[in-house]
Structure 1
């Protein structure tokens, strides 16, 4: 009997020892693609175990693949703009470890300086021409092949005495939303007779002179980041029958306090990740760009990523609360992206600047997403402008 119980006791001790021992976590690696103002797309390997970020390749592309976007269901396919006077859209493939091949097809964007593209769930790819004041919603016959003839150019009416600068495209229900930085509107497109054919169905007015650059929608709220005013606003998303009418619920500056004398600001990117058990609060991440050319007007700590919380939703006190300004060591933070939930990558945010030599940085979202901690930096390529987590 004593031997039997001793054996059972020993097994329990071993089991408890295993349960409470600290073993190295399995290596988790992430592949990240990065576009920029150059002639290549770069691939990075981020190893979260040893907190390293390594350039694994530079793959030739068309000129200025400043914005890259992944196919919504086929992660081996992505699209890149050619941000030129005569803009274009190209299709590429990538392996899971970031080996890029292509371009497989190229199609004109229909205008100048396309600064944004997004692959839609409809099998179309939207591309917006910043200097052309127009854009196209281009169908595909396969993930890598565009149907050029089916996509007319959509021209956005310029403001009186000004120019239209469409800067993004976001699918929302049956609509595509286009923030117009020059027109101080968010245009609303609806389908008009088949793939590639869309029409302007209305708009959502924005504060005069604010320069809406990028938007995000959560629940029934429209969050707009304004480049010229460096503000973040909230509006209740209106139905098309209430076209143009959407009073501001909140309007907050995103500029860090006590900026250097002579600094000049231009907001860039907004990210609102989904809520999860690990990140139950849907914090809002927005990037600042100090575009001053005088070195004395630049903060040696770099530009910031501001973190906001949407508070008191649905009450008269609904608004935005600034949680923290994160100094990044980057100049003109333009591109940033949060990793994918499916492989645990949403714990991390990658960012880079469009100027300077700060390189590319991976931050860990800590305190439930209310803060960012730098975990890896690579300066081999000084600037990048957009990212895809593979």
Structure 2
């Protein structure tokens, strides 16, 4: 079985390339995870994504006050080179998410409350900043019940296409600050426009979404909850079905925050759908948890069936990869001082997807410098 390469976005100054070998030919044959190379790109390249038709072309955004988009070109060995002439502004402050299409980057600038589109191509210089377009997201001030330190403005935290809307291309933008998921489609002028929204209880802080069947699942960062909605057309409001905790034990400690939600597509090896969410800053000495929800009783009724301790702290990023989405790479950004819970591990799905077991971990001395925030299997 050939080794797999994994790119790592980070809260450092680099994008890293890891090699995961599930069955090494040398030594005891136990799975390994090691650092191959890194490329310096600038302050906090926290999100990474590949061009849909040229996987050697990797985009990242520098999460800083003067946000930048950076392009890195990779060779077959996983070595990357920053394309200097492609670097350009992100259209706002602290870009923490973006979506790559064939001809544009759709960027969420967290601190400036802006959504921006940047024309791109697969040929140099790759970006066209002169044609960037921006949209200021609306915000209702002074709403009782908000988290005053985190919800003082609109904060777009994800840009993702709605896979449940087959009638038209719809963009979903979870807004942590406004307690909404914005629903956008393109107007006759070719620009994105807000057509509706999904509202949440004040103070929840929607961070990321995922979908299965006819149901939208929203991870609420600030309350560590999973909200479930039946999705309708853009013209109709969604039907709220239920909201449940991502933790088996409640109440949630005030400094714990949900981070990621994933629903791998069912396949021959894992025919049953499961929802996986990560929970940050758990006080347990065994580290943060990954909560696994079963949909055995129906997609409208997720049930928390398993909690997996990761041994990591501040688990912000995790991504499935490999054949049948068998493996899950998980990163801990740590406690902030670089001493506890920082690193990257690969887990394997077991029990039909109901459980996870650790297979490999990057060397702790290497992992402690990475502060991982995003992954990309290549």
2:208 aligned partner: 214
Q: 1:112 aligns with which of 89, 93, 99?
A: 93
Distance of 1:320 and 1:217 partners within structure 2: 12
Distance of 1:73 and 1:204 partners within structure 2: 32
DSSP 3-state at the match of 1:146: coil
- Pairing of 1:287-326 with structure 2 (within 5 A): 287-290=278-281, 298-313=283-298, 318-326=300-308
Q: Does 1:68 align with 2:48?
A: yes
2:350 aligned partner: 366
Q: Does 1:246 align with 2:238?
A: yes
1:13 aligned partner: none
Q: 2:76 aligns with which of 96, 112, 121?
A: 96
Q: Does 1:351 align with 2:330?
A: yes
Q: Do the aligned partners of 1:329 and 1:358 also contact (CA within 8 Å) in 2?
A: no
Displacement after TM superposition at 1:131 (Å): 0.7
Distance of 1:280 and 1:139 partners within structure 2: 39
Q: Do the aligned partners of 2:195 and 2:235 also contact (CA within 8 Å) in 1?
A: no
Displacement after TM superposition at 1:67 (Å): 0.8
Distance of 2:197 and 2:223 partners within structure 1: 20
Q: May I ask how many residue pairs the two structures share in their alignment?
A: 347
Q: 1:268 aligns with which of 254, 259, 273?
A: 259
Q: Does 1:167 align with 2:157?
A: yes
Displacement after TM superposition at 1:153 (Å): 1.1
1:282 aligned partner: 273
DSSP 3-state at the match of 1:368: helix
2:27 aligned partner: none
DSSP 3-state at the match of 2:352: helix
CA RMSD of aligned residues (A): 1.9
Q: TM-score, normalised by structure 2?
A: 0.87
Q: 1:182 aligns with which of 157, 169, 177?
A: 177
Specify whether residues 193 and 258 from structure 1 end up closer, same or farther in structure 2 by C-alpha distance, changes over 3 A only. Answer: closer
Runs of 4+ in structure 1 deviating by more than 3 angstroms, as ranges, are none
Specify whether residues 259 and 248 from structure 1 end up closer, same or farther in structure 2 by C-alpha distance, changes over 3 A only. Answer: closer
Displacement after TM superposition at 1:259 (Å): 8.3
Q: 1:123 aligns with which of 80, 103, 122?
A: 103
Displacement after TM superposition at 1:360 (Å): 0.3
Q: 2:361 aligns with which of 363, 371, 377?
A: 377
Question: Which consecutive unaligned segments of at least 5 residues does structure 2 have?
Answer: 24-29, 143-151, 335-339
* Structure with the greater alpha carbon radius of gyration: 1
Displacement after TM superposition at 1:139 (Å): 1.9
1:257 aligned partner: 249
Q: Do the aligned partners of 1:109 and 1:135 also contact (CA within 8 Å) in 2?
A: no
Q: Do the aligned partners of 1:89 and 1:109 also contact (CA within 8 Å) in 2?
A: yes
DSSP 3-state at the match of 1:200: strand
DSSP 3-state at the match of 1:267: strand
Question: Which consecutive unaligned segments of at least 5 residues does structure 1 have?
Answer: 1-26, 292-297
Distance of 2:342 and 2:306 partners within structure 1: 21
1:200 aligned partner: 194
Displacement after TM superposition at 1:256 (Å): 4.0
Structure showing the higher helix proportion among its residues: 1
Specify whether residues 143 and 309 from structure 1 end up closer, same or farther in structure 2 by C-alpha distance, changes over 3 A only. Answer: farther
Displacement after TM superposition at 1:138 (Å): 1.7
Distance of 1:54 and 1:169 partners within structure 2: 31
Distance of 2:304 and 2:284 partners within structure 1: 20
